[in-house]
Amino acid sequence: MKSSLMSNYGSPDLEFDHGKGCYLFTADGDQYLDFAMGIAVNCLGHCHPALVDALTRQAGKLWHTSNLYRISQAERLARRLTDLTFADRVFFSNSGTEAVECGFKMIRRYQHNKGRHKRKRIIALSESFHGRTLAPIAASANPLHMEGFLVGDAGFDQVSFGDGAAMAAAITEDTAGIVIEPIQGEGGIRIASKEYLQQLRDICNSHDLLLMFDEVQCGLARAGSLFAYQQSGITPDILASAKGLGGGFPIGACLSSNKAAAAMVAGTHGSTFGGNPLASAVANAVLDEITAPGFMDEINSRANYLHQRLQELVERFPDLLQDITGAGLMIGINCKVNNSELMAALTTQRLLSVKAGNNSIRFLPPLNVSQNEIDEALTIFESVLKNWQP
Ligand SMILES: Cc1ncc(COP(=O)(O)O)c(C=O)c1O
């Protein structure tokens, strides 16, 4: 049947009817083990009872009022996020790209407020991904995402990921701030070292630039700590979050220090839907689960097991796999065979994964994945590798 949807997603033919925990089911009853989780979104699996409960309770009470009025669910969520992080202030959006966009606006507005009107440029990293609205595509400068969309110079520069000297050299009197994913996702999973993040922090401090971390993918316990930056001890001025925050319900957040937020006075930014009662109620329920005592330890013990077992497969199949990267349950498998073909073979065997740059695939299981589900995924992966026909 001809689709009326735009062709920007190609034409996927696999469709799911319902989901439970780590599994998705087609209308015919075929069961798939989901290690894609809506690209790191369904952080507690499909239809987690506590999230269904929070959603349905709030749905019967109040969905949306707009930010013309106080929203106690959003205030509670913001308070919990600031209590748990470096941040003093939060802006809620509906997606990751909007959370990033808010951060970019804050960086420029901060400098503007200081009377440094030339300081508008933001430096991003090679192979980064910050979303699909106009500013984020200009930041990442991926030709595939950018071509035909931009007008003139959008005010972003790019330097090589991990190269502190190149970053220092790239700062000019027009630079306003730096944006980095502490763990790159779409470009292939790459971790910024603590030393590199410290270099960026030092550069920002010495030029009074704002440092922004994009944790849309690696945040919300995905990498083994509530936010990835907390493992490095290097604190940003601004942090973009989304994906796992709503466990599948659309919500994003831009977290910031008081210093970075000071220029965002009434009227400077907004969103009709951002932080509405329904989205905020679900995100509060996500936080209840993720911050429960012992939850993070469980993630890390499962993640260690999965990393170890994948490492064994790399050693057993050195012609097919290059290496394993990532942290926590954000895992990249760099391939020697074509990543699309490997992903397709896994899908045929009913294991869902996600492609990324650098010829890799990602395993992004739910944070509450069980040992049995990990073993099941590893059995499928091993059999696909064993039977691999070039
Ligand atoms: C690091 C990062 N930033 C921003 C985005 C954009 O998020 P969204 O697709 O919700 O707009 C993504 C999405 O994959 C991402 O991985």
pTM of the model: 0.98
pLDDT number for residue 77: 98
Residue pLDDT tens, the chain, 390 long: 688 999 999 988 999 999 999 999 999 999 999 999 999 999 999 999 999 999 999 999 999 999 999 999 999 999 999 999 999 999 999 999 999 999 999 999 999 999 999 999 999 999 999 999 999 999 999 999 999 999 999 999 999 999 999 999 999 999 999 999 999 999 999 999 999 999 999 999 999 999 999 999 999 999 999 999 999 999 999 999 999 999 999 999 999 999 999 999 999 999 999 999 999 999 999 999 999 999 999 999 999 999 999 999 999 999 999 999 999 999 999 999 999 999 999 999 999 999 999 999 999 999 999 999 999 999 999 999 999 987
Measured in Å, residue 175 CA sits from the centre of ligand 1 at 24
In three-state form (DSSP H/G/I as H, E/B as E, the rest C), the secondary structure along the chain is: CCCCCCHHHCCCCCCCCEEEECEEECCCCCEEEECCHHHHCCCCCECCHHHHHHHHHHHCCCCCCCCCCCCHHHHHHHHHHHHHCCCCEEEEECCHHHHHHHHHHHHHHHHHHCCCCCCCEEEEECCCCCCCCHHHHHHHCCHHHHCCCCCCCCCEEEECCCCHHHHHHHCCCCEEEEEECCEECCCCCEECCHHHHHHHHHHHHHHCCEEEEECCCCCCCCCCCCCCHHHHCCCCCEEEECHHHHECECCEEEEECHHHHCCCCCCCCCCCCCCCHHHHHHHHHHHHHHCCCCHHHHHHHHHHHHHHHHHHHHHHCCCCEEEEEEECCEEEEEECCCHHHHHHHHHHCCEECEEECCCEEEECCCCCCCHHHHHHHHHHHHHHHHCCCC
Contacts of 248 (CB under 8 A, 6+ apart): 38, 41, 42, 46, 51
pLDDT number for residue 2: 80
Contact 123, 154 (CB under 8 A): no
Residue 331: closest CA among 381, 288, 264, 293 = 381
Measured in Å, residue 258 CA sits from the centre of ligand 1 at 24
Verify whether ligand 1 is closer than 6 Å to residue 181 (CB atom). Answer: yes
Verify whether ligand 1 is closer than 6 Å to residue 352 (CB atom). Answer: no
Residue 90 has, within 13 A of its CA and on its CB side, a CA count of 24
pLDDT number for residue 136: 98
Closest atom, ligand 1, to C-alpha of 243: 10
Distance in angstroms (rounded) separating the CA atoms of residues 68 and 144? 39
Verify whether ligand 1 is closer than 6 Å to residue 96 (CB atom). Answer: yes
Verify whether ligand 1 is closer than 6 Å to residue 242 (CB atom). Answer: yes
Q: What residue owns the CA closest to ligand 1's atom 4? A: 130
Closest atom, ligand 1, to C-alpha of 181: 1
Q: Which of 189, 243, 245 to mutate to test the pocket of ligand 1 (most atoms within 8 A of CB)?
A: 243
Verify whether ligand 1 is closer than 6 Å to residue 34 (CB atom). Answer: no
Distance in angstroms (rounded) separating the CA atoms of residues 146 and 247? 29
Identify the structural domains of the chain with CATH numbers, from first to last. Answer: 7-48+294-386 (3.90.1150.10), 50-290 (3.40.640.10)
Residue 169's alpha-carbon distances to 111, 123, 173, 272, in angstroms, are 20, 11, 12, 40
Verify whether ligand 1 is closer than 6 Å to residue 217 (CB atom). Answer: yes
Closest atom, ligand 1, to C-alpha of 136: 4
Verify whether ligand 1 is closer than 6 Å to residue 175 (CB atom). Answer: no
Measured in Å, residue 220 CA sits from the centre of ligand 1 at 13
Distance in angstroms (rounded) separating the CA atoms of residues 13 and 348? 13
Contact 192, 233 (CB under 8 A): no
Closest atom, ligand 1, to C-alpha of 95: 10
Verify whether ligand 1 is closer than 6 Å to residue 246 (CB atom). Answer: no
Measured in Å, residue 85 CA sits from the centre of ligand 1 at 20
pLDDT number for residue 11: 87
Verify whether ligand 1 is closer than 6 Å to residue 100 (CB atom). Answer: yes
- How far the first Cα of the chain sits from its last, in Å, is 33
Measured in Å, residue 104 CA sits from the centre of ligand 1 at 14
Q: What residue owns the CA closest to ligand 1's atom 13? A: 131
